[in-house]
Chain A
Amino acid sequence: MSKRRFSSGWTALHIYGAAFLIFLYAPLALITVYSFNSNALNMAVWTGFTFDWYRTLFGMQPAGAAFDAAFTENPDRIFGVLRNSLIVALSASAISTVIGTATALATARYDFVGKRIYQALLFMPMIMPDIVLGIALLIFFVGVGFKLSLATIIIGHCTFLSSYVYIIVAARLAGMDNTLEVASADLGAGPVTTFRRVTLPLIMPGVIGGFLLAFIISLDDVVITYFIAGVDTQTLPLFILAMVRRGIRPQINALAVLLIMFSFVVASAGLYFRSRRN
């Protein structure tokens, strides 16, 4: 009797869980379907399958005969924006990976005065609302006379990405004892050799995972970039923001789908490395 009640509750929970997953993915699936809909006027009504929104996004000729020229995007802009985004994401995540990993090594392997202050400080950029960090950096850069550019975006991203990498690598170091490092030191290896030959290979999955997740968070950042990008520098999310503000057009769907797919691939790899055991 009671077992039966439990199993009906379990069925209800299954249905609820499935509904939750649908809630998470349905909006993304909707954009994907829309991005292949040839109906230029009303996305919600299906008129046929097309690749035109993807083709015109990159300046290729549309295959559909009745194609409105107003829907084409200037491909040079898109490639420029893409380049900016990749430069920012690669530099910011590489710098943050080095800084975050170094910090994680310090807090995991050494005791020093003010360690708890550092640990608290490292959480601050992650809990600070994006808008506060964005405007604080804007005031600072303008105040000290830094020209807003790709460099200011990279610096801005490093302030919060270093904390992400720190947390991922520190978690890995916490789950690992230092026997091998001690052994290596006892055998006469210097600290640099020990790091290169013993510690780094052991924490490598965490470092790669941290780098990939930092990369994708940087690539997708909207709010902080929005404030410190300046007028003539645009990243992909800012480009999409400007497109949406000009009016909803089917090409936004195509660009959105490409961005989601790319993010999902990189983030999956990052999550895999982060959780991998040696």
Chain B
Amino acid sequence: MAERSTISSQRRKALFVLLTPITLLLGAFFLIPLGIMVVYSFLEPGLYGGVVWSFYPYNYGRIFGWPLGGGEEFEPLYIQIILNSLYYAALTVIVTLVVCYPVAFWVSRMGPLAKNIVLFAITLPFFANLLVRIYAWLLLLRPTGAVNTALLSLGIIDQPLNMIFTEFAVIVGLVYVLTPFMFLPIYASVERLDWSLVQASQDLGATPFQTFRRVILPLTAPGIAGGCVIVFIPALGNFIVPSFLGGSKVQMTGNVIERQFLQARNWPFGSTLAMIVMASVLLLVLAYTLWMRRAANNERLAGAGHV
């Protein structure tokens, strides 16, 4: 009995030692800062970048048109920018998905050595500096860049194509930077794919399209969903890609937030926009978690049905 209580007190001591650092770190430098940001979004912007400590919901009114007051006016521009960002993020998800899905099958059917080499080659660019990777596309797409120079010298075009500072450039940049995030989860689910089910579907006379739609797609759906979520999130909040490749023409929410903090110095309004980004992300992650849980439950029920 006495021995048991020493073990449990030892356990408690060990847990205390192991968990205190992360608790302090994430409590003080993650949860509290995010909490303060939430509070800031409800404060009145003061002169010269300060804040006035009074309840001020009108930062939201400036974006959504309600509630209004305190001299804030509804500026539809911001809704437009938020919708644009959602659209660019969604487009990035679709393009990376279409690009990566076949690659996952390509890699999964390789021999072990080739597979390891290619997986390594696909993962590695993620660790090249983000700025450098975007800068490379600046060199490729600008009027005197590599693509235009090549096309001009081959005589395919006689005027430089206007590619930089367009939606196209921003999407290309986002796709390039976020591709590894889409590839890895999809690959993980393709790798687990039970090919005997595909074989069975073919033996039972399904067309390749039917096999794909009824067997392969549902079985790889978890990887697709995971990839979509982890590409959408950084795409939505991105501001480096649009500021390098979109110039002043293509704006995303991240660019507006950056300006509110570093130039306009309206921190409460910047916090409000960041709150909207954070809320979208949390909603998306919540939906994903619930969906995964339901999928796991269904699978368990289906498994029980077999017995």
Residue pair B29, A159 in contact (C-beta under 8 Å): yes
Please determine whether A24 and B277 come into contact, CB atoms closer than 8 angstroms.
no
The answer to whether residues A135 and B128 also contact, given A124-B30, A127-B230, A155-B29 and a CB cut-off of 8 A, is: no
- 1/0 per residue A121-132: CB within 8 Å of B? 110110111111
Is A63 on the interface with B (CB-CB < 8 A)?
no
Partner of B139, one of A43, A110, A129: A43
**In whole angstroms, how far apart are the Cα atoms of A241 and B244 in the complex?**
10
Q: Residue A268 at the B interface, CB < 8 A?
A: yes
State whether B233 touches A129 (Cβ < 8 A): yes
Interface of B is mostly: helix
Binds B, one of A74-82, A96-104, A174-182: A96-104
Confirm or deny: B120 has a beta carbon within 8 angstroms of a beta carbon on chain A. Answer: yes
Q: A118 to B274, Cβ gap below 8 A?
A: no
Give the chain B neighbours of A124 by CB distance below 8 A: 26, 30
Chain A residue nearest to B235 in the complex (CB): A129
Beta-carbon contact of A139 and B131 below 8 Å? no
Whether a CB of chain B sits under 8 angstroms from the CB of A87 is no
B296 touches A (CB below 8 Å) = no
Scan B18-32; emit 1 where CB is below 8 A from any A CB, else 0: 110110011001101
Bound: A137/B31 CA distance, A = 10
Residue of A128, A259, A271 near B278 (CB, 8 A) is A128
Q: What residues of chain B lie closer than 8 Å to A216, measured between beta carbons?
A: 127
Q: How far is the CA of A259 from the CA of B15 in the complex (A)?
A: 40
Q: In this assembly, does B2 line the interface, its C-beta being within 8 Å of a C-beta of chain A?
A: no
Q: Say which residue of A13, A131, A213, A259 sits within 8 Å of B102 (CB atoms).
A: A13
**In the complex, A129 Cα to B36 Cα: how many Å?**
17
User: How big is chain A's contact interface, by range?
Assistant: 35 or more
B124 close to A (CB within 8 Å) = yes
Whether A20 is near chain B, meaning CB under 8 Å from some CB there, is: yes
Is A200 close to B, CB under 8 A? no
A276 in the interface (beta carbon within 8 A): no
Distance in angstroms between the alpha carbons of A220 and B134 in the assembled complex = 13
**B29 contacts which chain A residues (CB < 8 A)?**
137, 140, 155-156, 158-159
CB distance from B5 to the nearest CB of A (A): 16
Least Cβ distance of B171 to chain A in Å? 14
Given contacts A13-B105, A31-B139, A138-B261, contact A127 B124 (CB under 8 A): no
B129 within 8 A of A: yes
**Stretch among B55-63, B144-152, B215-223 lining the A interface:** B144-152
Q: Given the interface contacts A125-B26, A140-B32, A140-B36, does A264 sit within 8 Å of B254 by beta carbon? A: no
Residues from chain A with Cβ under 8 Å of B106 in the complex: 13-14, 16-17
Q: Is B132 part of the binding interface, using a Cβ–Cβ cutoff of 8 Å? A: yes
A residues less than 8 Å from B292 (CB atoms): none
Within 8 A of B (CB), among A236-251: 237, 240-241, 244, 248
Tell me if B124 and A267 are in contact (CB < 8 A): yes
A103–B18 CB distance below 8 A: yes
What separation, in Å, do the CA atoms of A227 and B274 have in the docked complex?
14
A106 close to B (CB within 8 Å): yes
The contact of B21 among A98, A122, A222, A252, by CB within 8 Å, is: A98
CB distance from A104 to the nearest CB of B (A): 9
Q: Is the CB of A136 within 8 A of B37?
A: yes
A129 touches B132 (CB 8 A): no
In the bound assembly, the distance between CA atoms of A120 and B136 in angstroms comes to 36
Interface string of A227-240 (1 = CB under 8 A from B): 10000000001001
For B183, the closest partner residue in chain A by CB is A20
Give chain A residues whose Cβ lies under 8 Å from the Cβ of B25.
Answer: 99, 158-159, 162
Evaluate contact between A21 and B15: CB separation under 8 angstroms: no
Q: Mark A35-63, 1 if CB is under 8 A from B, else 0.
A: 00000001111000000000000000000
Q: Which 8 A-B pairs have the closest CB atoms?
A: A129-B237, A27-B136, A267-B127, A140-B33, A136-B33, A44-B149, A106-B18, A17-B106
**20 A-B residue pairs with CB within 8 Å:** A17-B102, A21-B118, A31-B135, A44-B146, A102-B18, A112-B15, A131-B254, A131-B257, A131-B277, A132-B281, A133-B33, A135-B271, A140-B32, A159-B30, A216-B127, A217-B127, A222-B240, A223-B239, A237-B129, A248-B138
A interface with B by C-beta (< 8 Å): 10, 13-14, 16-17, 20-21, 23-25, 27-28, 30-31, 34, 42-45, 98-100, 102-103, 105-106, 110, 112, 118, 121-122, 124-125, 127-133, 135-140, 143, 155-156, 158-159, 162, 166, 191, 213, 216-217, 220, 222-223, 227, 237, 240-241, 244, 248, 252, 256, 259-260, 263-264, 266-268, 271
